[in-house]
Amino acid sequence: MSYADLIPVLTWRNTPEIRNCMFSNDVVTLGAHRAWYERAIEDPTIHLMVMESEGVAVGFMNVTRMDDGDEAEWSFHTAPGARSGTGFQMCSLTLDYVFSETKIRRMKAQVLPFNIASMRLHVRLGFQRHEVERRWIDGHGRYYNIVGYELPSIEWRT
């Protein structure tokens, strides 16, 4: 991800269909987004990537290495209106890269239970459901069970 990607990624993030599947569904300001980006690019545990198709940005990926260094957690979204299959392609390419070019040996994800598309995508990629955690999420006093997924590198593409 480069500085030039800030506005498109922020625009996607703030669309209702993406915002409503995030842990914080507040609208993100440009100032807050810039500050987040500046912190993230200085942090060696964070990998921010933008997928392009035919020269057009179509998806965003954030991979964050966990404390012990061999596990990471990811979050991602495709651009609104992206072609069907973009998310699967982006995630597959990311897993290929992460498992072959870094020391990460396990990818984890946390998904809100109403984000059925993300849950199906993780299963299609070979992730196993590993936990359900009751956690406070929204500003309306509602609790949601967070669905956890994980994929060890040895199970990727086997």
Q: Residue 20: which CATH number?
A: 3.40.630.30
Angle at 130 between CA 89 and CA 80, to 5 degrees: 30
Domain extent at residue 110: 3-155
pLDDT in tens, the chain (158 residues): 999 999 999 999 999 999 888 888 889 999 999 999 999 999 999 999 999 999 999 999 999 998 777 999 999 999 999 999 999 999 999 999 999 998 899 999 999 888 999 999 999 999 999 877 767 666 666 777 889 999 999 999 85
Rg (CA), the chain: 15
Query: What is the C-alpha to C-alpha distance for residues 103 and 66, in angstroms, rounded to an integer?
Result: 11
pTM passes above 0.95: no
| Number of structural domains in the chain | 1
Q: What is the DSSP letter of 153?
A: G
List, in order, residues 6 or more apart from 144 with CB less than 8 Å away: 112, 113, 114, 134, 135, 137, 138
Q: What is the DSSP letter of 28?
A: P
Q: Which residues pair with 81 in a beta bridge?
A: none
